Amino acid sequence: MADAVDLAALCRGEKGTWDAFVRRYAGLIVSAVRGVAREQAEVEDLVQEVFLRLCKDGFRLMRTYDPTRAGLSTWLTIVARSTARDVLRRRQVPSTPIDAVPEALLAVMPKTTERIKYPDTLLSPRQKLVLTLIYEQDLDVAEIAQSLGVDPQTVRSTHHKAMLKLRSYFAQEDTQPAAGDERPTNRLST
């Protein structure tokens, strides 16, 4: 197989495997990045960013590669292009000089950690876990699926169903009149 590489050894951080991986796929990554770069001078930096992203956090991104979904060359091309686009987007110069922005607009608001309140029985334990992993732990669907030992589509479906339950619950709560409030509800009258 043309894409054969010892991913397990690579993800363990074995230097020889990493060096062979870089030699084998550097040209492919350079080509992918060239299609995104605005200037030739950016290509080398962008290629470096791609390799950094691949080995960052103990090869976390490399561990998400699924050979049943795409060949390694295809996957690396997609990762290289998206990484290059992300880097270039972050480097864009703001259109307004910083000195022209009022200081009040630059103030950083403290992060609030207020939790929404809903009945404990509204969501299943799995739905609560998926929401916690997505919104509090900032994990992506692939990471959650891998940690739970389920298909990524199961995570997406669980998230979707939990959000539907929450939306329904809060929509009903909004239509309930407060104590002493004579507002009409959304119920049909006969």
Percent of the chain with pLDDT over 90: 28
Q: What is the pLDDT of residues 38-94, one digit of tens each?
A: 788 889 999 999 999 998 888 888 888 888 888 888 999 999 999 999 888 888 766
CATH 1.10.10.10 maps onto the chain at 118-175
Q: What's the pLDDT at 48?
A: 92
pTM over 0.75: no
Q: Is the pLDDT of residue 141 over 50?
A: yes
**List of residues 6+ apart from 146 with CB closer than 8 A:** 63, 64
Q: What's the pLDDT at 172?
A: 82
Which CATH number describes the domain made up of 118-175?
Answer: 1.10.10.10
Q: What's the pLDDT at 115?
A: 72
Q: What is the pLDDT of residues 97-114, one digit of tens each?
A: 767 777 777 677 666 666
How many angstroms separate the CA atoms of 159 and 162, rounded?
A: 5
Cα-Cα-Cα-Cα dihedral sign, residues 139, 142, 143, 149: positive
Mean pLDDT over the full length of the chain = 82
Q: Is the pLDDT of residue 183 over 50?
A: no
CATH 1.10.1740.10 maps onto the chain at 7-91
Q: Which CATH architecture has domain 7-91?
A: Orthogonal Bundle (1.10)
pLDDT higher for 147 or 109? 147
